[in-house]
Structure 1
Amino acid sequence: MALTFTEEQEELRTTLRRFLADKAPSAAVRRAMDSDEGHDPRLWRQMADQLGLHGLALPEAYGGFGGGPVELGIVLEELGRVLLPSPYFATVALAGQALAASNDEEAKARWLPGIADGSTTATLALAEESGSWRLEDIETSAEHGTVSGTKMFVVDGHTADLMLVMARTGTGPGLFAVDGDAPGVTRTRLETLDPTRRLARVDLDDVPVRRVGPDGDSSPYLRTVLDLVAVALAAEQVGGARACLDAAVAYAKVRVQFGRPIGSFQAVKHKCADLLVQVEAARSAAYHAAAVAAEGSSELPVSAALAAACCADAFSHAAKENIQIHGGIGYTWEHDAHLHLKRAKSSEQLFGGPGMHRTRLADLVGI
């Protein structure tokens, strides 16, 4: 299975990195995360109109460009490098992939064009008060065209135009579309560890819904969606981990102690070398999972679980080591090292921690 990128994919990475260096430096990221919207609406439009990022991984029939998990992974890796506050992850990686994989032509025709052109924001809702992202733990119920449930905790749920809610039915779990402003929906923005990614509590009380995807027990489809989500998050985590590694190495070259750059000391050199090995291993796992997802291989559950565990660990470790190498300055609000640590720890638990993914991986391979 090829793990190398085409010339067009490499050009996408180069173009996007140059774009983000210009439009999303640290100062711009901090302004966006502190704003009422939680992101820069003008940049959101530029990402859609100038670069076509929103439709990059969506089918051409619905206004997209026909890419897939590999192209989406490149975008998310670069967005993860700069910690861009944006509803892109929720809209495209969560809801967009769920709709594209649904085989529900009516649903795709209704919502994908808006996602592709940037006029619609969306998200995916599963986690409830238990914090679990396992289908077996769903308590929210859908009956007679409405959905009700416990409190749900949803990425960018306070602003999303469309929410795709996973809920249980008499025949098994299914996916249901909810208008963000529908009667019975109460949305409350939460203060969380990571200021660069917004989270909301969503209460559903007899909210009218539309079924998305297959009828009956939709467990196989929903498990595929969750695997695609895990692969997307892994790509973002790789970008963050690489940014931490690059920052640590750059600082070790210029920080002088005892008349020498600290990078010349064996302890720091070994720390950076060990970190490089872990980040590159995570990158390989993420790229392999994206390639498997793009091929629609039956290997996806194994590859997704492996990438999810490996990349979460690598990002958290890289963020911690970056702060250690920076010393006292890394703990200050003025330095971006702490923002990476907060993103690393929050994304580590976003769809289940590394331990959960390792347990699932062991089950899948029969250990």
Structure 2
Amino acid sequence: MMLAPSAEQQNIAESVADFLSSEVPMTTVRRLWNEERSVDDKTWRRSVEMGWFALSVPEEAGGVGLGLGEEVMLFREVGRFATPGPFRATALAAYLASRTGNTEVLAAILSGEQRVGLKVGDQALDAHPGDLLLELDDEHPRIYEIDTCTPLVPTDPGVRLARASVGKVVVEAAGVALLSRARVLAAAELLGVIEATRDMSASYAQVRRQFDKPIGSHQAVKHRCADMAVGAYAVTAQVFAAAVSVSEAHPDAAFHAAAAHVLASARARRATADNVQNHGGIGYTWEQDAHVYLKRALTLELSCGSRQAGYDALIAPERHEFR
């Protein structure tokens, strides 16, 4: 990826969007809230067939042989459709397994046999007994076997939250910048959330009328929509720059990855709240989809650790070399 997506990368995004819009629309997302797993087996199998988890795995290891830029385009659409499921953690785990040469774990992930939850502090996202669990330690990322899970009540109904007890470590690595990669992909999902809420607000502002005028003609609403659009542009630039930096292992890659996640989190927090406000009274209702994106933004913000950890990564370097 350069600072703008290539035609091939745009094609990946379009194919993902076509699939999610037809196979995992919001009606399906809401139905899955009541299921044991956050994503059904059919959707999982289709994602495996489309190579979602193999994008950054070398061809000689059974992957597609592309990279982080392509994964950014994928997860931007996952965020745009508020798609539930441990897709990002599983893609990161596949990349880690390929880097360590663990062919057994890699094969289980690429075949769809294993799903991978994400360890965040003392909690686990989308973890299930018998699955795997990824820990994003900055120095030594690990993948564990999951023994048991004690369910907790999540803020985001599209995520299964639990306290997980783990078994043996099946993959462990040193010198793999997995946390930076995770921050870039979480930022890409957040970008999709921002763009989705921007479009929801802009569309509603054109059809909802007050005082015989579309509400989009009123200064307060139009300014919020404009701020959402500006935020989307800013986050897009930083996410793409971070993807290039991490892919090419630039000296300041950790800084750019943290910057992408911090900026995307802040802008998504504001955009999702403004989207609720733009929809007025219906924006607060369970039936309206505004709350789905607000809750997803909060989950994604904390999926790479605490907010302070992101700020610490921004102020850690004494000197930055921008290329």
What TM-score, normalized to structure 2? 0.92
Q: Is the radius of gyration larger for structure 1 or structure 2? A: 1
Contact 1:56 1:68 in 2 (8 A): yes
C-alpha distance in 2 between matches for 1:2 and 1:165: 29
| Letter paired with 1:157 | A
Is 1:67 equivalent to 2:45 in the alignment?
A: no
* Deviation of the 1:158 alpha carbon: 2.2
User: What is aligned with 1:161?
Assistant: 131
* Deviation of the 1:121 alpha carbon: 1.1
* Deviation of the 1:178 alpha carbon: 2.8
Contact 1:124 1:154 in 2 (8 A): yes
User: What is aligned with 1:116?
Assistant: 110
Contact 2:32 2:40 in 1 (8 A): yes
Change (3 A) 1:195 1:313: same
Is 1:299 equivalent to 2:252 in the alignment?
A: yes
- Kindly report which structure 2 residues correspond to 1:1-367, keeping only aligned pairs within 5 A, or say none: 2-49=2-49, 51-93=50-92, 95-101=93-99, 104-105=100-101, 107=102, 109-125=103-119, 127-128=120-121, 152-159=122-129, 161-165=131-135, 174-180=140-146, 185-204=147-166, 207-210=167-170, 212-213=172-173, 218=174, 220-221=175-176, 224-365=177-318
* Deviation of the 1:365 alpha carbon: 4.3
C-alpha distance in 1 between matches for 2:231 and 2:317: 24
Q: Which segments of 5 or more consecutive residues in structure 1 lack a partner in the other structure?
A: 129-151
C-alpha distance in 2 between matches for 1:187 and 1:58: 29
Q: How many residues align?
A: 320
C-alpha distance in 1 between matches for 2:151 and 2:81: 23
C-alpha distance in 2 between matches for 1:238 and 1:366: 28
SS of the residue corresponding to residue 364 of structure 1 reads coil
* Deviation of the 1:269 alpha carbon: 1.3
Contact 1:158 1:189 in 2 (8 A): no
Q: Which segments of 5 or more consecutive residues in structure 2 lack a partner in the other structure?
A: none
Contact 2:105 2:170 in 1 (8 A): no
* Deviation of the 1:304 alpha carbon: 0.6
What TM-score, normalized to structure 1? 0.81
* Deviation of the 1:124 alpha carbon: 4.3
Change (3 A) 1:359 1:209: closer
Per-residue Cα deviation, 1:78-105 (whole angstroms, up to 9, x for no partner) = 0111111112122113x2233234xx22
